[in-house]
Amino acid sequence: MCANGCDGCDKKNQNKQWKRDFPIEWEKDHYVTRREMVKFLTLGSAFLVMANGIMAVAGRLARPGEFQRKSVALGSALPVNSSVLFRYPTEADPCILVRGKDGSLSAYSQVCTHLSCAVVHRPEEEVLFCPCHHGYFDVTGGHPIAGPPTRRLPRITLEHAGDVIFATGVEV
């Protein structure tokens, strides 16, 4: 309240004081010049071009072309209609090597293509079985034959050198 007992006078004075403390006009504060806008667009575009270039180079460098050759089992240690587990291409990638009833060898990622549970070999049925939702894959190609999976298991390519079986790559 002012000396004359007027409430309005005090409020007017407070407003003026506030304007003196912060001398920025709201309209001018939000005013963007054409030059600033062009500068922003140019820098933004340059940044996007640079980010695209970096992504392209990183994509080429990270291309998974080369797999290491890794020994995974001895052929003599794998009887007919049996399997052995191994990890390939890294220790975080579980795989399964199966010798079928006809003696042929095939290897697959052990990660089910439905929801990533581990498949196991069921020699009595000659299938790879996923216990999570009862998914079945054939052992000769890793194709889904029953249950929810619709994609085949990634195949691990194999090579033999004498009795040693090597994993050489992954075919998705």
* 89 binds ligand FES, rule: CB under 6 A: no
- Apex CA 76: angle with CA 75 and CA 82, to 5°? 75
State the Cα–Cα distance between residues 172 and 139, nearest whole angstrom.
16
117 interacts with ligand FES by CB under 6 A: yes
Using the minimum distance from each CB to ligand FES, give the nearer residue, 2 or 115.
Answer: 115
Compute the least distance from the CB of residue 125 to ligand FES, in Å. 15
Of 145 and 164, the one with the shorter C-beta distance to ligand FES is: 145
Within its chain, how far is the Cα of 103 from the centroid? Answer: 36
Q: How many other C-beta atoms are found inside a 10 Å radius of the C-beta of residue 3? A: 7
Task: In angstroms, give the least distance from the CB of 96 to ligand FES.
Answer: 14
Residue 112 CB, shortest distance to ligand FES, in Å, is 3
* Spatial CB neighbours of 124, under 8 Å, sequence gap ≥ 6: none
**Block residue for tokens 């460098």:** 61
Name the residues that contact ligand FES, by CB under 6 A. 112, 114-115, 117, 130, 132-133, 135, 147-149
